[in-house]
Amino acid sequence: MTCFSSRSHIVDSRFFSGGYTTAEARQVFCDLRRLQRWLDVEAALASSQAELGTIPESAARELEKTARLDLFDLQAIKDDIAITGHSLIPLLNAWQHNVSSEAGKYIHFGATTQDIQDTAQTLEIKDILVIVERDTRSIIQKLAGLAGKHRDLVMIARTHGQQALPITLGAKIAVWLDEMIRNGDRLQTCRERVLVSQLFGGVGTMAAFGDNGIDLLNIFSSRLGLDAPQCSWQTSRDRLAEMLSTMAILAGTLGKIANEICQLARDEIGELEEPFHMGKIGSTTMPHKRNPELCEQVVVLAKLVKNNASLGFDALINEHERDYRAVRLEWAAITDASLYICGALSLMQDILENLIVHEKKIRQNVSRAASLIATEALMFRLAEKMGKQDAHQLLYEISMQARNASRQGTDKPLIALLAAHPDINSLFTHDDLQKAIDPSHHIGLAGQLTDQVLKSAVDWLESYGDSSTELSTCPLQDTDICK
């Protein structure tokens, strides 16, 4: 009987993995799918060599036909890894047992282990980018919908955690949307650099491939749907560091959005709230709690992605023409960062799809703070008569008086103090003063700025289209070993 605890990594937990990643992302990094990718890459190499006449066509056909993990003894491979200490040779040994002696001569012909595994890892990344780009697109669409819907909903802007000036919810969300569009751009440009093959032999010279090395690289890359690099990148891991950095920036944006929703969900603010359903419990001891668990988890995942991205920078430092330490770092860092970013994207889609906007509370908060958050506008009105610095000093003194009174429980509304001050009531009637501090009159170009970002979102969505690429599948996903 297999013990439940054998699934020790949080992303594999039968109970808690849903808070850290998605089943779809986990499947990309399935052990069996990884081995199958190595076979796929080896088969593509053999077919490419046969096309150039380097190996017999019959051998390539047999190798392509038998490069199926369901034909292999997986336990024998596992045992051989323990004996040899090598990650690829046991798979190749098992393959050799499944083919004729003639075809077996041309398995892994001229390649080095890192050629196969780097190329296969790139194919893993290609699958992950399909998910990440698709979900990024979905979030951009959802943010655009929210920004448009709440374009003119006036709310309190806050700086340093304090009430500042009026803004609109549409403008706030437009800032998130603009950042997500840049993340989408980063993913696209990163894709162009990272999705390349590796096929350069032991020290990157292609010596084992003879004079046809460049042609072989081009044919091999094309077969796998990858670009051909200019030279070996066995010790040049900048592409992967860039990809991890791009994931970390994207995760940081998601974390920032989630954290803002958390802050605005505070009981004393109560303006936004993540999705809630009856049965969702916030505390074992406090039945009233409605904790922002989803948003907090997105922040957790953003930190995990960032910490794994730092390993990508460690992997940049290698020795001579090949150093396998970077690859071993990447096997962990790329896998974990990819799983966590997919989890964060999935959670954020749910949050935005069902985001609760408490419009009534937003308006109540604005109404209650109207005079304080309109002091900038009033200052510039007064500045026409007394100069900006004197107007600032006057409003500073009156505002501090009102705030001190409020915190001491002796309520003296700012509007009343303003109306009572001789330097102000000589310039404004009470009605004029009320109009002057109306927050809806002081949102500046919030609507116009929101519209600009919305147009950019539409242009971006049209420019990049919708990803229809299918993910690869596990060769043994319907067998007992995968259950």
Q: Which are the catalytic amino acids?
A: 160, 283
User: Residue with structure tokens 């190595």?
Assistant: 38
Alpha-carbon distance of 410 to 402, in angstroms, equals 9
Q: What are the tokens at 371? A: 């005079």
Cα dihedral: 90, 91, 96, 98 (round 10): 130
What's the CA gap between 310 and 248, in Å, rounded? 9
Give the C-alpha separation, 116 to 204, whole Å: 13
Amino acid of residue 451: D
Phi, psi (degrees; rounded to nearest 5) at 165: -135, 175
Distance of CA 398 to the CA centre of its chain: 46
Within 10 A of 282 (CB to CB), how many other CB atoms are there? 13
Is the Cβ–Cβ distance between 393 and 351 less than 8 Å? no
3-state secondary structure of 324: coil
Measured CA to CA, the distance from residue 417 to residue 420 in angstroms comes to 5
Write the CB contacts of 182 (distance below 8 Å, at least 6 apart in sequence).
none
**Residue linked to tokens 């390649």:** 111
Partnered with residue 163 across adjacent β-strands are 158
The candidate with the shortest Cα–Cα distance to 447, out of 168, 165, 173, 176, is: 168
Residue 143: name the closest of 466, 457, 467 by CA.
457
The residues, any chain, with a CB within 8 Å of residue 289's CB and separated by 6 or more, are: 281, 282, 283
Find out whether 327 and 114 touch, Cβ atoms under 8 Å. yes
Calpha distance 74→60 (Å, rounded)? 23
**Cα dihedral 145, 149, 152, 155 sign:** negative
For residues 378 and 389, the answer to whether their CB atoms sit within 8 Å is no
273: left (phi over 0), alpha (psi -120 to 50) or beta: beta
**Token pair listed for 384:** 């026409």
DSSP per residue, 151-190: TT-EEEEEETTEEEEEEEHHHHHHHHHHHHHHHHHHHHHH
